[in-house]
Amino acid sequence: MNYIHLFYQLLPEAVLVITALALLGVAVSTESKTKKTITCGLASRIAALGVLAAGVALVFTPKCLASGSHLIAMDAIALIFKGGVLGLGFLAVLVPPAKKEIEHPGEYFALMLFALTGLTLAVGSNHLLFIFVALELASLSLYLLAGFSRTPQSSEASLKYFLFGAVSAAFMLFGLSFLYGFSQSDTLQGVAKAVAADPTSVIGMVGLLMVVVGLGFKMAAAPFHYWAPDVYQGAPVTTVTLVAGASKIVGVVLLVRFLMIGFPDAAGSAAWGGITAGWSIWLAIIAAVSMVFGNLLALAQKSVRRLLAYSAVANSGYLMVGMCAAGGESSAAALFYVVVYGLATLGALVVTAAVERDQGSDSQAAFAGLIHRSPLLAVCLLIFMTSLAGIPPLAGFAGKFILFGAAMTDSIQAENSGLAWLVGLAVVMSAVSFYYYLSVLKQAFVKDGDGSAGKESLSLGYVLAVVIPAAALVLLGLLPSVLLDPIKVAVLETLGMH
């Protein structure tokens, strides 16, 4: 393996970094000359172009399964989900924050690109340390991004995010060191070998659980979710879209890698009547807690951003249900679902941002009469919320149905009822969630508003950032196979389950 080869494999990341540096350069040079920074819109467009270019570069990146060190693993999962991260990242940078919010747009979008770089790198690796470093690159950028606007809420969000993030990073690093000590190897494949030899090892399991805690923080799973509501509410919208979309995908991909590549033999079972020791039961507990907490707390939210934060907690729970089953199909279903979820939540956040920008508030009441003010936003909001709630014919429905179906299929056995208890809880909680999604829609469609509110004016970036996810959700809802089949093939191929 030579460096040119390595460069080819990291072409997308390289494009991102180069764009980021260029952006920084432009920002710095314009600022010094004219005392005027480049506008948010321009920075956003440059960044979007960069992400687009990275996406194009990804298409030409060769697949490479067995690079010696596993430092960079361009396996099938990596290829697809780098694409996914870039896609959601692209949508995220399309939405410029308000001008008064961000003082240095150039730096802001450069940090966005750095964060994206970290996220794409993390997706494509089986190396314990490399994963950690990539994640930290993303995390550090995100801490800054969360605090970028100079409102007290933003600062609080940044601080909370940072504190919780630091603790979880410590957990993760500690866990990784356990894994290294346990397996004498710094790759997941090496860990897998050690686990196969000793599936019940306590050290290995403790290490894994610490890693899971770290990833749970990334995914905002309860009880590691306390940063989420504040960040969702306080941080600039562009940051939140990245946190909610791309970052979540990375969390799930890494969970799949750790659990299914590193610890496939220590899964145990969380099946009703057939519980055996392993990570499955721990994950099941986290999943259950996340679903119950997230959904019940979301019911009480007036702020739509906070509501979406708790919905993110709840959705981490659903995703973990898929992971608990410890099967190829259920992992694939979870990965499909996270993409769908990311699209929907991102779209919902963008609509919220648009409403907030014009109404000055993200409370549910601000949405009143949206259908009259801006039919486009309202219809897209309908698509996002119903997709999140899992109503057909949208992708969220197909995602949930397949996720729960696969989780049951991979867990059920003749002698026990499998994960029916957890899936049942998930289904019931999903029904509960419909209430708060619907209450937002109720404001938008049923309430008439007071008539004083002005019309939401939309820039091209906003329009793209709501129309693309909405179209994608409809398309994926009608023809889930378009994305589901490649993911399933990729997961089965990567995990060696044919």
Site of interaction with other proteins (CB under 8 A):
329, 382, 386, 389, 391-393, 397-398, 401-402, 404-406, 408-412, 414, 417-418, 420, 423-424, 427-428, 430-431, 434-435, 438-439, 442, 445-446, 479-481, 484-485, 488
Nearest-approach distance from CB 479 to other proteins, in angstroms: 8
Nearest-approach distance from CB 413 to other proteins, in angstroms: 9
Nearer to other proteins, 144 or 423 (CB): 423
Nearer to other proteins, 29 or 481 (CB): 481
Nearer to other proteins, 196 or 482 (CB): 482
Nearest-approach distance from CB 304 to other proteins, in angstroms: 18
Nearer to other proteins, 119 or 271 (CB): 271
Q: Give the span between the Cα atoms of 109 and 46, in whole angstroms.
A: 9
Nearest-approach distance from CB 404 to other proteins, in angstroms: 5
Nearest-approach distance from CB 251 to other proteins, in angstroms: 24
Nearer to other proteins, 219 or 382 (CB): 382
Q: Which residues contact 100 (CB under 8 A, 6 or more apart)?
A: none
Nearest-approach distance from CB 315 to other proteins, in angstroms: 16
Nearer to other proteins, 81 or 336 (CB): 336
Nearer to other proteins, 92 or 425 (CB): 425
Q: Does the CA dihedral 111-113-117-118 come out positive or negative?
A: positive
Nearer to other proteins, 14 or 467 (CB): 467
Nearest-approach distance from CB 118 to other proteins, in angstroms: 32
Nearest-approach distance from CB 445 to other proteins, in angstroms: 6
